[in-house]
Amino acid sequence: MIAVLFLILLLGAAVFAAASGGQAIPVVEILALIGVFLVFFGAGVYVAAVLGLLGILVGLAFSDRPWWLFAGQTLWSPSSNFVLVAVPLFLLMGEILLRAGLSDRLYKALNLWLGRLPGGLLHTNIVACAVFSAISGSSVATAATMGSVALPWFSGTRYSQRMVLGSLAAGGALGNLIPPGITFIIYGLITETSVGALYIAALIPSLLVTGLFLGVILIHGLRHPMEKGPPVSLRDKLRGLADLGPTMALILLVLGSIYGGLATPTEAAALGVVGAAGFAALDGKLNWRMLHASAEATARNTALLGLILFGAYLLNYVLTAIGVPQAMAGMIGGLPLPPWAIMAAIMMLYFALGTFMEGFSMIITTVPVVFPIVVALGYDPIWFGVIVTMLVEIAQISPPDGTVMYVLQGMRRPPGPIGDVFTGVLPFLAAYLIAVALMLAWPGIALWLPGVVN
């Protein structure tokens, strides 16, 4: 489907070029490439391979310059970028925290404070995911980690399994929105936007989305009263805060160093890894076996993301060389529509893509084409970075292809129909869409804080 999207964009650029008196891209060749890549996707070929092959074929079909003359230089740019080093470091930090058991302590401590609210443990799901997101930077890692911790707590209770799974999926979809989200690093790399500014801009929107999620649970809890845990004394609550100490210290170390101007996101990620290893050592969980397992999982995920990024960079280079983003920006910018209507159409495109595309692939394959259009319409790149990240997170919980939902479905014991996850996540999906609408109506939600800080 990614190939189809870009080839449709090529077709639009060809029509625009023809209407402008320029040299149009042959429509027959475009249709041939669409057919070829429909076969690839239907056969289940990996996204990274499809992107790379698409870049090669588009280069051979439409560019006079042999692709092998620029492929090495094109791939060297992302592979040697210092900012991108933060991605494996944040992944490694999350893996160490998972294996050190700090996530269990986090969930238990939050449950002491939130367990007796209307909605009970469902509130704990959201807040625990939000806090863990501030040190993991990954939606899938957040959902997998907190799902493994939270699901046993609901065994044998009267909680709705649909709401349990839906709340965990929604909480997982905070992983990239709450700094230090990895999506912001990729967006900043592609668009040459400050990652630190993106992190600052995402603070209020992430609080807004988290608040809307808690509102959904509160309404559900008032309409469907559930069992509450035993009363907890204030002394026990305060004592439980000690279990939040390591997590809050890591958040302060990572985000505090970034917001304070003491470290770049990459340096802060390295500090986070050292801090996570230190807390694991204090708990007696740090050993070579744990480090090896953490490093192996990090290497696997980093390699997967890197291959997708390389394929997308090659494709984006070819598209830019033959003028597709420029042609699309000119074509859409010349439409007799107000900027907000065009932006709404772009958002609807992302909503549609989210039903069948993985979020990370979506951002690195569409942003290079869409970004020039957004800038030409006069929208702020930082605001759009937050919007795109929110749309990517919505894609993670959009049926039928939301990655986070399938992660939780695989962790259910005993297994059940995937429809439970789809149904349970719908109220939270609606809340996320409300947050995006508010961001579109009032861009200051994202831009106010960066303006104050700068």
pLDDT in tens, 83-124: 677 778 888 887 888 788 777 888 888 888 887 788 888 999
Is residue 12, in this structure, part of any structural domain at all?
A: no
Write down the mean pLDDT value for the chain. Answer: 78
CA atoms of 401 and 37, how far apart (whole Å): 19
pLDDT of the residue at 92: 87
pLDDT of the residue at 419: 84
Is the distance from CB of 407 to CB of 414 less than 8 angstroms? no
Average pLDDT over residues 30-44: 60
CA atoms of 390 and 406, how far apart (whole Å): 19
The pLDDT > 90 percentage for the chain reads 17
Cβ contacts of 84 within 8 Å, gap of 6 or more:
78, 185, 189, 309
pLDDT of the residue at 380: 93
**Residue of 19 and 419 predicted with greater confidence:** 419
Query: Does 225 have pLDDT greater than 80?
Result: no
Domain count, the chain: 1
Is the distance from CB of 122 to CB of 221 less than 8 angstroms? yes
Q: Tens digit of pLDDT for each residue in 358-414? A: 666 677 767 877 888 888 888 999 999 999 999 888 888 887 667 788 778 777 777
Query: Does 10 have pLDDT greater than 60?
Result: no
Is residue 66, in this structure, part of any structural domain at all?
A: no
CA atoms of 64 and 327, how far apart (whole Å): 18
CA atoms of 251 and 245, how far apart (whole Å): 10
Count how many Cα atoms sit within 13 Å of the Cα of residue 424 in the half-sphere of its side chain. Answer: 26
Query: Does 289 have pLDDT greater than 80?
Result: yes
Query: Does 67 have pLDDT greater than 80?
Result: no
Which one of 95-104, 199-208, 322-331 scores highest in mean pLDDT? Answer: 199-208
Say how many residues make up the chain: 454
Chain CA centroid to CA 114, Å: 27
Is residue 10, in this structure, part of any structural domain at all?
A: no
Query: Does 2 have pLDDT greater than 50?
Result: no
Is residue 20, in this structure, part of any structural domain at all?
A: no
Residue 134 CA: distances (Å) to CA of 163, 175, 233, 371, 450: 23, 7, 28, 27, 18
Is residue 245, in this structure, part of any structural domain at all?
A: yes
Chain CA centroid to CA 345, Å: 21
Is residue 130, in this structure, part of any structural domain at all?
A: yes
CA atoms of 339 and 443, how far apart (whole Å): 14
CA atoms of 439 and 195, how far apart (whole Å): 19
User: Within 10 A of 245 (CB to CB), how many other CB atoms are there?
Assistant: 13
Is residue 315, in this structure, part of any structural domain at all?
A: no
CA atoms of 187 and 148, how far apart (whole Å): 30
Count how many Cα atoms sit within 13 Å of the Cα of residue 31 in the half-sphere of its side chain. Answer: 3
CA atoms of 88 and 93, how far apart (whole Å): 9
- Which residue range(s) make up the domain with 162? 81-306+334-454
Is residue 30, in this structure, part of any structural domain at all?
A: no
pLDDT of the residue at 33: 60
Structure tokens at 189: 């790399």
Residue 211: pLDDT band with limits 50, 70, 90: very high
CA atoms of 325 and 319, how far apart (whole Å): 7
3-state secondary structure of 430: helix
Is the distance from CB of 393 to CB of 173 less than 8 angstroms? yes
Query: Does 63 have pLDDT greater than 80?
Result: no
